[in-house]
Amino acid sequence: MFRRYGAVAAVLSALALSFNSAQAEPGVSDTEITIGMWMPLSGPAALLGQSARDGVRVWSDEVNAKGGINGRKIRIVAYDDAGSPQEANAAVRRLINQDEVFALLAGSISGSTLAVRRLITSSKVPFISSISSNNNLMNPFSRYIFRVYGNEDAQAAGIVGRMIDGDGIKRPAIIYTSNDYGVGGFHVYTALLKDKFKVASVADERYNPGDQDFSAQLLRIKSANPDGLLVFAFAQEAGIIVRQAKELGLNVKFYGGGGAATSLLQRAAGPSAIGFKAVSVLPQTVETSNDPKVVAYRDKLKQLYPNGFPPGRPSEYDVAAYTAGKIAESVLKELGKDVTREKFVDGLERIKNFEGVGTFPVTFTPTSHEGTNSVEIIEVGADLAWKAIGHEGGK
Amino acid sequence: MELLPQVLISGIMVGSLYALVGLGFVVIYRATKVVNFAQGEMMMLGAILALYFSTDLALPYAVSFLLAVLTAASLGVVVERVAYRRLLQAPVVTLILATVAVGQMIRAGVRILRGSEVSRFPSLFSADPFVVAGVSVTPLSLSIIAISVLLVVAFILFFRKTLIGKGMEAMSENRDAATLSGISINRTFSMIWAMSSGLAAAAGVLMAPLIIITPDMGSIGIKGFIGAILGGFNNIGGAIAGCFLLGIIESLGGVYISSSLKDVISFAALVLVLSLRPQGLFGSPEAKRA
Amino acid sequence: MMMIRAPWILYVAGVLLAGSCLLAPLALGSYPLFVLSLALINIIAALSVNIVMGYAGQISLGQAGFAAIGAYTTALCVTNLEMSYWLALPLGGVTAGLFGYLLGFPALRLGSLYVSMVTFGFGLIVVLVFQNWYDLANGPNGLSMPDPEIAGHLVTPQEFHVVITIVAIVLFVVARNIVVSRHGRALVALRESEFAARCMGIDIARYKTTAFALGALYAGLAGGLFAGLTRFVNPDAFVFQVSILYVTMSILGGINTIVGAIVGGALLTLIPELLRSTAEYKDFLTGLLLLLLLMFLPKGIVGLIRDRFGVRQNNPDERPPVGELAPFSRDTENAAAKGPLVEVANVGVQFGGLKAVQNVSLEIEPGEIVSVIGPNGAGKTTLFNLMSGIYYPTAGTIRIAQTDVTRLPANKRTQLGIARTFQNLELFGDLSVLDNVKVGAHTRGRAGFTQAALRTRLARDEEQDFTEIAWMLLSFVGLQDHAHHRADSLSFGHQRFLEIARALASKPRLLLLDEPAAGLNSSEIASMMALVRRIREELGVTVLLIAHTMSLVMSLSHRIVVLDHGEMLASGVPAEVQNDARVIRAYLGADDA
């Protein structure tokens, strides 16, 4: 009994000892700025978390190699949340209260980001999000939370616009995943059809994350006889959906949200993916882009992976996190020696048409922290590669 | 398009996948009374191994298939030797939890090694649909249905006709009596785990072209088990019929009730059947105390 | 006072632990405090696993589903009904408990494997339902909850930590009170041998559903506290992996002991926090940890410490003043006036096509010792099973003390004064010898779950009464020196005597002894014979026994009944039966006894 109690006490006092509140501004010293990250490094969403971690790491290595920002080096503290809200809660509390980070970058998947939204806002820690595209992250408006790319509204609006206006779909249908991402997309789809395009959706179907068989949904959709199907799902599920649809004889045009816009779609769907149009939050695909800045990023990332990139990498989350770092850097540079969280937020709100790496230009204002609502429409070509076919939206 | 026939066909299609993985569950359960929660993961591992042999090592399809089955079977034996055998005397609960742990290790291990890689596996049969009487089917799905039926028949014959199979049957009826009549428990158990792991791998390779290979692919495994319970465990044919039935129930429920509550419907069916007929729909009641 | 008494050092440690948790907000920063709060919540969740799986032995792979119900009910009541959090929290717990109660029903008819499937499915469905329930539960986006208030004052995390600590302490004490009560013993009995538990008068159905309900209540409260702590609930927080995490906590600490929940819950909350930066291997390591625990440390850390250092809940030196046992009945006096105690009339039962017993009639007068003999497979044990309610006859009637019990379940018959032992010993191996006997006294208890949980006067008095009679019975059968040993550590002969003491603890009028002498050596047989006589003479209990040992049968019995192939061959005083030609042919001549 004593033994156990002793162990607990030792751990707790160790945690307590590292708690120091002497500094003027948390996370900032004369030589160092501490940036916190939490994200899924394990579990099904690990790809997103690892991309974000690497993007920020590439950025901080770059900054520190140049001697830091105004003499301060960047120190990154990153914790795994395994995509679980419970763990995200613990991780972010640790970042804010114990590690006393100056600001948070990238964030986690939506569930684990929404779970700590209030904590971040009430602790007044600046946070630039580059993973979650959930609308509720900005709702209600928080002075401390920013996002670098188009949210679900922008993504759904972009692809629905392309569907109805661009391709002239008359009988649209949707299948979406029953998570925050899919549901967000569904709401925008419904609202746009009703208010803007005055077209009725012939079928609305939903499935649960992790499902592997979609025939029930697809049969219902097929019997509604649509001419275009929006698949608001993550890429691997979207891939199976497209393939099963073809197997069931559902030959319509397919569209997808940002979640489908990775090469995992073609891996899962094979040739069935040809002609699939999706919306991308980036103006180009990171794996193949010739944009010199993206190429430079890929080269730097290669140093972390001398034996080749892991599957699906580099992804949009790489460059989005990298861009989030670049934005933080530019504000910190401008602030000079006098760095506080409040001034940092003010600085972020002055960001205008910031040219990131592989992203759309980012603009923040005191009333809008959505960096952009531009999206790119991309399509799977006959060679099974994504190619950009035009912008939608724009601020 | 004829909706109802199409729904039934795709139900049978899905059911054949459940049957493929359900068969492995039944083999283990009958002999050891253990629900192997790692069966789905073993299936996933089998598919990944086959993928590795055929794409990374560029071996022919048949060789890759065989190697994957053998590797998975050996792994099954190793896990049985190292972990499960020590737990034979422990309560069944412990053994079930051990399979949960093994499943988690396989899943996490694959994720560490392969990341969240998504792959498709080539198939011998075409996935291009053709239309028969207004119903769209693919050669691929027909082949899977045929293979699962063949496998089931093969296993029923194995248990009825061969000496090893009869020994395993005896073991499932009464472990002590089987030992007394000279059947080695350890050898039989090793064989059973090898067989069901190999079977899982085969199922994985066969169904890989229909779904996709990811670390989470094994989650379909539990459906095979539910189907087998629905049908009834003490009769392999019945258990497999249960798997097909589950596929059909899911398709019908998904199309005519609610597609997003498909899983809820299948679990509700399970609880309902178990409450009314604990031995399953096609099983005969086991002799038990009142 | 003869309560199970933990060594004082455990009490001191417990008070120190509770006190330091209560005072932690003064010393800890907000993050370590949050981790500590989380640990306490996880301890409550681990307790719920201990109750369902550790004590009642019912596998549950869906405890996180109950936590989800608790969390969502709490959050929904607060946000939609503007209910106070302090009302919503218990409501969430009770709602979860209700679901647990309902889920207990399928468990009644099904083996542990099916139960594992049903609970697994339940956990899955709960998450799916909340994920798809957009109108009420906001689907996958989850629910934000306002800060809990006390009289208009918003509760700070520091204050909320104190609340969590108090709830955890209360729940721990309640669990501990239940565990040491007759209800706790009944749960363990259920786990160790369902068959024997029924014959001890334990209502299996009620205890299984209650265990599920209680476990679900605990999990629900853990969920409600989690909602209050993070002020946000979404379906992701309650997935299958969380159920497995709870189980792992419980096993790590020791699933069969409630102290284990504290150790496991705390360790599995703290360790991942310390290892947070090495994430890639975490899932794999959690799986490995669970597997290694199951293989090498099935009793958990607390179990290990107990085995190593001999720390036991019972104080081995504890010895009550043993009084004299008063007779249980006056059946031995003036028997004829009372009418028969047992009337078995034309009873038969068949299994499938096999007629195990047919057309057996038997009357036993109060105070008699009657033996049932017959070759193997004659239907003797089946007759016992019919009389004790394990089987229902397919023909005929059974009356005990003029009450028709033909269709009465086993546990109800115990209340009418029937007790039995088993041919193949059915002791509760994991319980102490003393506790085995106390389980036998189960039906004599009046204090319900609530009274046990609160340790009311009635509950304490009753417990003391049980302990006293258990000690008296142990010295009656000569096992008082083994009272604190595990039942399965006794020698075979001692186990037979223990079964008799356990059966006597219900103060029966009729004792059924199934082969009490089987496997005993000759000196043990002699003491067994003496014991059976004393049971009749000193306690006034009527005895019906099955035996193969002819010396015992002939010298003990007032009457002998001979069964062969399920039918009654002969019946009468020993001398008659001994000389019956049919008996000699069918039985004595054929059997090696």
- C-alpha A199/C-alpha B24 separation (Å) is 49
Whether the predicted pLDDT of A267 surpasses 70? yes
Share the mean pLDDT of chain A.
87
Contact flag C121-B226 (C-beta cutoff 8 Å):
yes
Contact flag C284-B290 (C-beta cutoff 8 Å):
no
Q: What does the pLDDT look like over B140-183, one tens digit per residue?
A: 888 888 988 888 888 888 888 887 777 777 776 666 666 666 67
Q: Which of A126, A38, A8 is nearest to C32 (CA)?
A: A8
State the chains in contact with A (3 or more Cβ–Cβ pairs under 8 Å). Answer: B, C
State the first-to-last Cα distance of chain B, in angstroms, to the nearest integer.
52
Q: Which residue of B has its CA nearest to A217?
A: B259
Contact flag A267-B120 (C-beta cutoff 8 Å):
yes
Give the angle B225-B227-B230 at the CA atoms, nearest 5°.
110
* Contact call for residues A220 and A242 (beta carbons, < 8 A): no
- C-alpha B242/C-alpha C191 separation (Å) is 31
Whether the predicted pLDDT of C6 surpasses 60? no
Adjacency order of strands within the sheet including C342-351:
C354-364, C342-351, C395-400, C403-404
- Residue A97: which of C24, C31, C232 has the nearest Cβ? C31
Strands annotated E in A208-252: 228-232
Q: Which residue of C has its CA nearest to B33?
A: C113
B143 touching chain A per CB within 8 A = no
Q: What percent of chain A has pLDDT over 90?
A: 50
Q: Which residue of A has its CA nearest to C25?
A: A16
Q: What does the pLDDT look like over A110-132, one tens digit per residue?
A: 888 988 998 999 999 999 999 98
CA A189 to chain B, closest CA, distance in angstroms equals: 19
Q: Which residues of A touch C270 (CB under 8 A)?
A: 8, 11
- C-alpha C104/C-alpha C101 separation (Å) is 5
Contact flag B35-C290 (C-beta cutoff 8 Å):
no
B16 touching chain A per CB within 8 A = no
A96 touching chain C per CB within 8 A = yes
Q: What does the pLDDT look like over C338-382, one tens digit per residue?
A: 788 889 999 998 877 778 888 899 889 888 899 998 888 788 888
* Pick among B271, B273, B281, B284 to test the C interface (most C CBs inside 10 A): B271
Q: H helices then E strands: how many in chain A?
A: 13, 12
pLDDT at A208: 85
Q: Which residues of A touch C157 (CB under 8 A)?
A: none
Whether the predicted pLDDT of C314 surpasses 70? no
Contact flag B87-C117 (C-beta cutoff 8 Å):
no
Contact flag B219-A311 (C-beta cutoff 8 Å):
no
pLDDT at C319: 63
pLDDT at A21: 40
* Pick among A12, A108, A118, A183 to test the C interface (most C CBs inside 10 A): A12
Q: Which residue of C has its CA nearest to A98?
A: C31
Q: What does the pLDDT look like over B187-209, one tens digit per residue?
A: 888 888 999 999 999 988 888 88
Chain C contacts in chain A segment 144-203 (CB below 8 A)? 178-180, 183
Q: Which residue of B has its CA nearest to A236?
A: B118
Contact flag B104-C290 (C-beta cutoff 8 Å):
yes
CA C498 to centroid of chain Cα atoms: 18
Cis peptide leading into C140, omega within 30 of 0? Answer: no
Task: Output C550 or A365, whichever has higher pLDDT.
Answer: A365
* Contact call for residues C387 and C349 (beta carbons, < 8 A): no
- C-alpha C492/C-alpha A35 separation (Å) is 68
Parallel/antiparallel/unpaired status of strands A145-147 and A203-207 = unpaired
C523 touching chain A per CB within 8 A = no
Where is average pLDDT lowest: B276-290, C196-210, C421-435? B276-290
* Pick among B100, B114, B273, B276 to test the C interface (most C CBs inside 10 A): B100
Q: What does the pLDDT look like over C473-487, one tens digit per residue?
A: 999 999 988 888 888
Q: Which residues of B touch A223 (CB under 8 A)?
A: 1, 3
Contact flag B270-C118 (C-beta cutoff 8 Å):
yes
Q: What does the pLDDT look like over C36-74, one tens digit per residue?
A: 999 999 999 999 999 999 998 888 889 999 999 999 999
Burial class (CB in 10 A: 0-12, 13-18, 19+), A49: buried
Average pLDDT score over residue span B261-278: 81
Share the mean pLDDT of chain C.
86
A37: helix, strand or coil: strand
C35 touching chain A per CB within 8 A = yes
CA B289 to centroid of chain Cα atoms: 31
Strands annotated E in B8-134: 130-132
Whether the predicted pLDDT of C113 surpasses 80? no
Q: What is the predicted ipTM?
A: 0.85
Give the angle C294-C298-C302 at the CA atoms, nearest 5°.
135
CA C10 to centroid of chain Cα atoms: 24
- Residue A239: which of B1, B13, B212 has the nearest Cβ? B212
Q: Which residues of C touch B104 (CB under 8 A)?
A: 241, 244, 283-284, 286-287, 290
Give residue A3's pLDDT band: very low, low, confident or very high (50, 70, 90): very low
pLDDT at C278: 60
Size of interface A-B (CB pairs under 8 A): 106
CB-side exposure of C288: number of CA atoms within 13 Å?
A: 7
Q: Which residue of A has its CA nearest to C143?
A: A115
Q: What does the pLDDT look like over A147-192, one tens digit per residue?
A: 998 888 888 889 999 999 889 999 999 999 888 788 888 988 999 9
pLDDT at C277: 61
- C-alpha B34/C-alpha B80 separation (Å) is 12
* Pick among C154, C158, C232 to test the A interface (most A CBs inside 10 A): C232
